Amino acid sequence: MRVFRTLIEGASRSTPTADATGLQVIVTVGAENDPAALGPQPAHVHVQRFIPQESLLPYCSAVVTHAGAGSILGALAFGVPLLAVPRGADQFYNAERVVSAGAGLSLLPEQLEPGAVATQLERVLREPAFRVAAQRIEAEIRALPSAEQAVATLEGLVAETRAQAE
């Protein structure tokens, strides 16, 4: 829960974008964690176990994430820039890819403290280049073939290969 507390404190220090009335912080802690363990929160901080991404991401100005593939792809599918805070496994690589694509910034575990979170999150919120890059990736994702089209293409290739083998 220490990581959540650090992120909440840092996000609460961030100032909202110029056109926003205030920064709302939505925290999902996962099924294994109890939101009550974080204690009482200010009115602008909302803690839940889980919220479906597609219900929340269209309304987000930025996403702070552990840099899991699902979280990153979900945010980018909606053109939302990221602050990646990797913790393990492939998350470090994923965070590097976000930064390399210009769609956000990253904080490594040894950099994780409220002031750094506030500074990096403010940059993601205020510097248009991050949103522009995230929206470019959103357009690329939307241009991909649908799952149905991909299945049809694969089925066609299998049928063609079988016909050639006969």
- State residue 21's pLDDT score: 53
Three-class SS state of 47: strand
63-65, strands of its sheet edge to edge: 63-65, 82-84, 104-106
The tally of domains found in the chain comes to: 1
- State residue 23's pLDDT score: 80
Domain of 107, in residue numbers: 2-165
Three-class SS state of 105: strand
Torsions phi, psi of 79, nearest 5?
70, 30
Positions of the chain with pLDDT lower than 70, given as ranges: 15-21
Q: How much is the pTM?
A: 0.85
- State residue 42's pLDDT score: 86
Identity (one letter) of the amino acid at 120?
Q
Q: How far apart are CA 53 and CA 79, in angstroms?
A: 13
Dihedral (CA of 113, 110, 106, 8) sign? negative
Distances in Å between the alpha carbon of 9 and those of 70, 90, 104, 120, 162? 24, 26, 20, 13, 60
Q: How far apart are CA 58 and CA 110, in angstroms?
A: 31
